[in-house]
């Protein structure tokens, strides 16, 4: 027992020294979530996911349609008639235009999936930080119970010494009191170490390295620190909200859309797309007198005249055969169907998850309310028991057994409050909320 107590005291001493080196800061649940989402180590990852997809969409939109051609030429008559023709034609494969549009559609759907993935990551980060805050709050409350037990053990030791001096109790009670103090100090040291460890975890998640964070206890109000008690919420509305906003479900739907767009893109190579061409031609003809050898009068009237003509034409070329659909189209189409099926399955799972989380949150809130009342009663009972021992109405073993029940009740009250907060965080995560919306 003594070696355990000594080891625990050493651990607590090291932990307190490490904590003392950093400035202490009280942080609310809302602050912890906001810092983790906006400044935590996952921020760069969450921001990078849609940035890559956005760059791919920009690249897809910047590419010109394939099959775009410009044909230009000039010709003259070597016989010396003075004839000159200049022509230019611009043509485009309409299939290339369609493929470009489908590539843009693929990139847009992929961007939607990436943004949903980033949002889902933000929800996970928020829930993780919120749970870490609850762990810290719970550790602090358990440490407070342990500290009160140490104080009670010291009070008991002083009472035993007074009664021993008057000859009212035996040396055995002094030994029992000493053992109680050693056990209480050991428990307190380990509880303090748990606080330091929980604070380090929360600091890492919120990007607050070098700060000894402590949890700011929520107000003593129903449902606090959330805006409403869970019993004020309707599970049907929560389930509908989850199906509308759960980012992992949205990501699957966008991924299915992207796979469908890839299938359409792969099929476009096998479709008989026409080619559209627009051309302009300029003809210039110089009528020399030598061109009218047999008609001197005509040569005299038209010789040296210039005739210029402009022609504009539109041409459509339709292929008579198309290629066979490729395996890429079949694979992409199968992937789209699989992702759609997974999205439907996830939707059903989400609704069940929300209902289960709601039931746990309701139970957690009721249990915490019941244990809060029990904790208050336990504190009053401890004061009465101490007075009873001082008056010689009960012995030290009876007092110690009662004290164990009192502090166990307070510890269970702390556990119940932590469970209430955790189940409420789980409910928010099940609905796709980052908890910032809960305020």
Query: Is 185 inside any structural domain?
Result: yes
User: Would you say residue 186 lies in a domain?
Assistant: yes
Least trusted range by pLDDT, from 26-35, 243-252, 312-321: 312-321
Is 80 in a helix, a strand, or coil?
coil
Per DSSP, the three-state class of 280 is strand
| Residue 6 belongs to domain with CATH number | 1.20.1600.10
Instruction: Note the pLDDT of residue 56.
Output: 82
Q: How far apart are CA 415 and CA 345, in angstroms?
A: 35
Strand pairing category for 305-317 and 275-287: antiparallel
Q: Is the pLDDT of residue 431 over 90?
A: yes
Q: Find the length of the chain.
A: 439
Within-domain flag for 254: yes
Q: Report which DSSP code applies to 219.
A: P
Within a domain: 184: yes
Please state the domain count of the chain. 1
pLDDT, tens digit (0-9, with 9 covering 90-100), for 190-237: 999 999 999 999 998 988 776 688 998 887 666 678 888 898 999 999
Distances in whole angstroms, Cα of residue 73 to Cα of each of 88, 285, 309? 6, 17, 16
Q: Which of 270, 263, 304, 265 is nearest to 287 (CA)?
A: 304
Beta bridge partners of 69: 91
- 383 within a domain of the structure (yes/no): yes
Q: What is the mean pLDDT of the chain?
A: 80
Q: Is the pLDDT of residue 281 over 80?
A: no
Q: Tell me the three-class secondary structure of 232-290, residue by residue.
A: HCCHHHHHHHHHHHCHHHHHHHHHHHHHHHHHHHHHHHHCCCCEEEEEEEEEEEEECHH
Report if residue 320 sits inside a domain. Answer: no
Q: Considering the domain boundaries, does residue 148 fall inside one?
A: yes
Strand extents, DSSP E, 318-397: none
What local confidence, expressed as pLDDT, does residue 350 receive? 95
pLDDT of 365 > 90? The answer is yes
pLDDT at res. 18: 43
- Mean per-residue pLDDT, 266-287: 67
d(CA 131, CA 127): 6
pLDDT of residue 221: 67
Residues spanned by the domain of 372: 2-67+94-272+327-438
Spatial distance between the Cα atoms of 419 and 412, rounded to a whole number of angstroms: 10
408 found inside a domain: yes
């Amino acid at each position: 027992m003594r070696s355990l107590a000594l080891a625990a005291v050493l651990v607590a001493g090291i932990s307190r020294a490490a904590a003392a080196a950093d400035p202490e800061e009280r942080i609310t649940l809302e602050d912890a979530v906001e810092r983790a989402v906006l400044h935590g180590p996952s921020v760069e990852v969450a921001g990078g996911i849609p940035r890559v997809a956005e760059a791919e969409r920009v690249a897809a939109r910047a590419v010109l349609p394939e099959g775009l051609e410009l044909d230009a030429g000039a010709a003259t008559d070597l016989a010396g008639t003075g004839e000159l023709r200049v022509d230019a034609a611009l043509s485009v494969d309409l299939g290339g235009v369609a493929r470009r549009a489908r590539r843009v559609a693929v990139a847009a759907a992929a961007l939607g999936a990436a943004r949903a993935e980033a949002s889902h990551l933000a929800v996970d980060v928020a829930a993780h930080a919120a749970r870490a805050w609850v762990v810290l709050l719970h550790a602090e409350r358990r440490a407070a119970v342990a500290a009160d037990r140490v104080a009670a053990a010291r009070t008991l030791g002083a009472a035993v010494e007074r009664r021993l001096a008057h000859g009212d109790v035996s040396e055995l009670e002094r030994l029992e009191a000493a053992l109680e103090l050693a056990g209480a100090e050991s428990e307190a040291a380990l509880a303090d170490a748990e606080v330091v460890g929980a604070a380090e975890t929360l600091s890492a998640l919120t990007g607050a390295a070098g700060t000894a964070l402590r949890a700011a206890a929520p107000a003593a109000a129903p449902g606090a620190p959330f805006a409403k008690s869970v019993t004020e919420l309707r599970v049907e509305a929560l389930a509908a909200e989850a199906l509308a906003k759960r980012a992992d479900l949205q990501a699957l739907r966008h991924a299915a859309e992207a796979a469908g767009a890839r299938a359409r893109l792969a099929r476009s190579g096998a479709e008989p797309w026409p080619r559209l061409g627009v051309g302009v031609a300029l003809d210039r003809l110089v009528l020399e007198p030598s061109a009218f050898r047999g008609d001197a009068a005509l040569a005299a009237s038209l010789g040296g005249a210039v005739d210029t003509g402009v022609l504009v034409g539109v041409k459509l070329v339709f292929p008579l055969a198309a290629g066979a659909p490729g395996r890429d189209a079949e694979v992409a189409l199968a992937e789209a169907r699989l992702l759609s099926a997974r999205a439907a399955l996830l939707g059903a799972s989400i609704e069940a998850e929300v209902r289960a989380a709601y039931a746990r949150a309701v139970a957690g809130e009721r249990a915490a309310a019941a244990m809060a009342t029990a904790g208050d009663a336990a504190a009053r009972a401890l004061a009465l028991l101490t007075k009873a021992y001082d008056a010689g109405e009960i012995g030290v073993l009876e007092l110690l057994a009662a004290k164990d029940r009192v502090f166990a009740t307070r510890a269970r009250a702390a556990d119940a409050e932590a469970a209430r907060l955790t189940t409420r965080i789980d409910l928010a995560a099940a609905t796709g909320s980052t908890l910032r919306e809960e305020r």
